[in-house]
């Protein structure tokens, strides 16, 4: 019970910390002057205009109405919902709300706060939408402005609670579902007590021991009655006469059962739970080998009931690569046919090496192969058969021995190659950077990272 209470208290503290996160909510005065006010996430009500900053989770289900991106796109990750780490694009409901664009443009970069708004706006909006449902990929509704303009909502306008804003300075949204009505809460199952395999085995063994002890005590009392009372009782005149009643039978059975309880290792449960508590709270949470200095993240045991199971895992199933590994691609080298040059990425520059070819002597075709492991006698045979002037039969040099040189100017074909690579992705150049000479590249997937690394060799795309 003490261990369960410890887990419940930790869970309560985590929930309290999450519910007390500060968000800016749009408020209004009696004369319709609007201003921003810091508010706990648990105090957000349906209909509030909420501002969410970059790299922060949405405190409730929001209907996006404004974004700071020039393209009005809203980049979101839903790793907490479905485990997908790639960026998903959303958009505000309508672009005709001039007052919302003016409110979002009123953000002061230096003070990291909103300047006071002196103008008065009427931002009345009637929103009609469906009742709360568990479906994460469905949202239906519409809105009517004070001028009578009507339009329907799309799922791309809907921002789920638990999702995180990425590569967007901030967004403004209308709270449509809060608290237990959010889709995340509706899809959350009630927390059940988790029992490890070891605990189940201990409980089963103790139950078997209880049954064995009960049967053993019952057998002993039956033998006692049959042997002592029937055979010896009449001959043992010096023993007091025993009067048996149902209650006396129960008393003797319980007394005998208490004597045999020493066979049941009740204390092993207490010892086992203490070991679980120390393993989770001390050894896992305080293990420096589980600390990542780059991300400042350490191991955290959310429950103390399953700590001992980590060493008993035999099989681990994954639906895709990247769940347990790191999706990371690095640009190493490339070649552009029909050029005979290999371009190699170094730390801060691009190097080039000239390739040499030969005909494959084991094939009748004119297939070309890179000569990395050719012997000297093969070189002489190839030269004598094909002629030294044949470009395919030039002297062969192992790849690692080729002379390399730094690329100082990009050829038209090389520029065309990287232009095609650059436009075949969803890389976005962010202008939210004080140093304009080093633009920030935002990607929706790790697979789009390699072209960005070419900025290190002074090849940049804008």
48 & 139 share domain: yes
40 & 180 share domain: yes
Is pTM beyond 0.85? Reply is no
417 & 438 share domain: yes
182 & 252 share domain: no
Look up the domain containing 94 and give its range. Answer: 2-186
Supply 55's token pair: 């790299």
Has residue 92 been placed in a domain?
yes
Has residue 135 been placed in a domain?
yes
pLDDT digits (tens, 9 = 90+) for 97-149: 545 555 555 555 554 455 555 554 555 678 888 888 888 888 888 888 777 77
Angle (nearest 5°) at CA 461 between 457 and 462: 140
Has residue 177 been placed in a domain?
yes
275 & 233 share domain: no
Question: Can you give the pLDDT at residue 230?
Answer: 63
2 pLDDT above the threshold of 50:
yes
CA dist 372 and 72 (Å) reads 52
149 & 15 share domain: yes
260 & 308 share domain: no
Has residue 143 been placed in a domain?
yes
215 & 102 share domain: no
**Mean pLDDT of all residues in 64-89:** 81
Query: Which residue has tokens 């003070």?
Result: 111
186 to each of 42, 136, 180, 217, how far by Cα in Å? 17, 10, 7, 52
Question: Can you give the pLDDT at residue 58?
Answer: 92
CA dist 51 and 236 (Å) reads 93
Kindly report the CATH number assigned to the domain that includes residue 125: 2.70.150.10
CA dist 44 and 68 (Å) reads 22
Least confident of 206-220, 229-243, 425-439: 425-439
Alpha-helix runs per DSSP H in 279-406: 376-386
Q: Which three-class secondary structure state does DSSP give residue 141?
A: strand
pLDDT digits (tens, 9 = 90+) for 272-315: 777 777 776 678 888 888 888 888 888 877 777 777 777 777 77
169 & 213 share domain: no
Backbone angles phi, psi at 265, to 5 degrees: -80, 70
341 & 358 share domain: yes
Last residue of a domain, one of 154, 186, 218: 186
46 & 122 share domain: yes
338 & 291 share domain: no
**Mean pLDDT of all residues in 57-63:** 91
| Tally of domains in the chain | 4
């Amino acid at each position: 019970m003490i261990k369960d209470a410890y887990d419940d208290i930790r869970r309560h503290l985590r929930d309290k910390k999450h519910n007390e996160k500060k968000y800016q909510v749009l408020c209004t005065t009696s004369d319709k002057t609007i201003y921003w006010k810091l508010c706990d996430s648990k105090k957000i009500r349906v209909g509030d205009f909420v501002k969410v900053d970059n790299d922060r989770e949405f405190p409730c289900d929001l209907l996006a109405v404004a974004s700071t991106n020039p393209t009005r796109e809203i980049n979101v990750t839903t790793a907490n919902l479905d485990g997908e780490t790639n960026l998903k694009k959303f958009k505000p409901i309508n672009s005709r709300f001039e007052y919302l664009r003016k409110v979002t443009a009123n953000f002061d970069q230096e003070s990291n706060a909103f300047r006071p708004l002196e103008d008065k706006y009427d931002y009345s909006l009637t929103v009609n939408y469906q009742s709360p449902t568990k479906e994460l990929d469905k949202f239906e509704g519409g809105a009517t402005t004070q001028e009578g303009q009507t339009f329907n909502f799309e799922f791309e306008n809907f921002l789920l609670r638990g999702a995180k804003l990425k590569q967007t300075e901030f967004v403004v949204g209308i709270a449509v579902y809060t608290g237990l009505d959010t889709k995340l809460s509706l899809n959350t199952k009630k927390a059940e007590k988790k029992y490890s395999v070891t605990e189940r085995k201990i409980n089963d063994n103790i139950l078997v021991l209880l049954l064995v002890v009960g049967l053993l005590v019952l057998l002993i009392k039956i033998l006692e009655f049959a042997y002592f009372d029937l055979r010896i009782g009449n001959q043992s005149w010096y023993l007091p006469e025993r009067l048996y009643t149902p209650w006396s039978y129960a008393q003797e059975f319980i007394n005998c059962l208490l004597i045999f309880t020493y066979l049941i290792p009740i204390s092993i449960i207490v010892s086992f739970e203490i070991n679980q508590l120390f393993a989770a709270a001390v050894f896992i949470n305080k293990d420096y080998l589980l600390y990542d200095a780059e991300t400042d993240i350490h191991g955290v045991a959310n429950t103390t009931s399953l700590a001992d199971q980590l060493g008993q895992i035999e099989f681990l199933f994954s639906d895709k690569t990247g769940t347990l590994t790191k999706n990371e691609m690095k640009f190493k080298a490339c070649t552009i046919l029909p050029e005979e040059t290999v371009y190699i990425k170094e730390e801060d520059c691009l190097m080039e090496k000239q390739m040499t070819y030969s005909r494959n002597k084991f094939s009748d075709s004119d297939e070309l192969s890179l000569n990395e492991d050719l012997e000297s006698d093969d070189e002489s045979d190839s030269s004598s058969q094909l002629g030294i002037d044949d470009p395919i039969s030039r002297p062969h040099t192992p790849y690692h021995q080729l002379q390399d040189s730094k690329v100082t100017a990009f050829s038209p074909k090389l520029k065309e190659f990287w232009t095609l690579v650059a436009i075949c992705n969803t890389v976005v150049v962010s202008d939210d950077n004080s140093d304009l000479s080093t633009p920030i590249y935002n990607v929706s997937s790790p697979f789009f990272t390699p072209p960005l690394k070419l900025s290190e060799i002074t090849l940049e795309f804008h």
